[in-house]
Amino acid sequence: MMNQLERSLLDRYQRGLPISATPWADMAQELGVSEQEVLSTLQKLREQKFITRVGPVFDHHRAGSSTLVALAVPPERLEEIADFINQFDAVNHNYAREHEFNLWFVVTASDQAQLQSVLDTIECATGMPMLNLPMEHAYHIDLGFKLAWQE
């Protein structure tokens, strides 16, 4: 069962993460806890795989270059490959799907050369051929969800 701070962090900061030089301190002040409590709670949520990362999602046209990638991963390697891919700062929205291509993620980089370098590194290290699906049209999808907490 999650404590109140864990719930508050997940509810409040799905969107609207403070844009400042001290975002963790800003969050702590708003929630009435210490900055260290915010950081240790986020780390705990990551270790328990409730979250994979905390950070911005950029408009790829402003940030540089971006693509959606799909991999067909053997089920017994899915967690291993997903954990490896999650190590890259350029990766976000890494998720499993019920399909032949069962692992999908977005890579955003400062330019096409850096993007290709990340893709090459992942493909070489995993041995998984990639389905590279660069965006042709942009759509805004709000990925914040109201969470229903069970008592």
Q: Which of 115, 108, 102, 116 is nearest to 70 (CA)?
A: 102
Render pLDDT for 32-57 as a digit per residue (tens, 0 to 9). 999 999 999 999 999 998 887 787 66
What's the whole-model pTM score?
0.61
Helices (H), 18-134: 23-31, 35-47, 60-63, 78-86, 112-126
Mean pLDDT in the chain? Answer: 88
Sign of the C-alpha dihedral computed for residues 30, 35, 41 and 44 taken in this order = positive
**How many Å separate Cα 141 from the centre of its chain?**
15
Contact (Cβ atoms closer than 8 angstroms) between residue 5 and residue 37: yes
Render pLDDT for 1-38 as a digit per residue (tens, 0 to 9). 789 999 989 888 887 889 899 999 999 999 999 999 99
Q: Select the CATH number that applies to the domain covering 60-133 from these four: 3.30.479.30, 3.20.190.10, 3.30.70.3460, 3.30.505.50.
A: 3.30.70.3460
Contact (Cβ atoms closer than 8 angstroms) between residue 131 and residue 101: yes
Boundaries of every domain in the chain: 4-47, 60-133
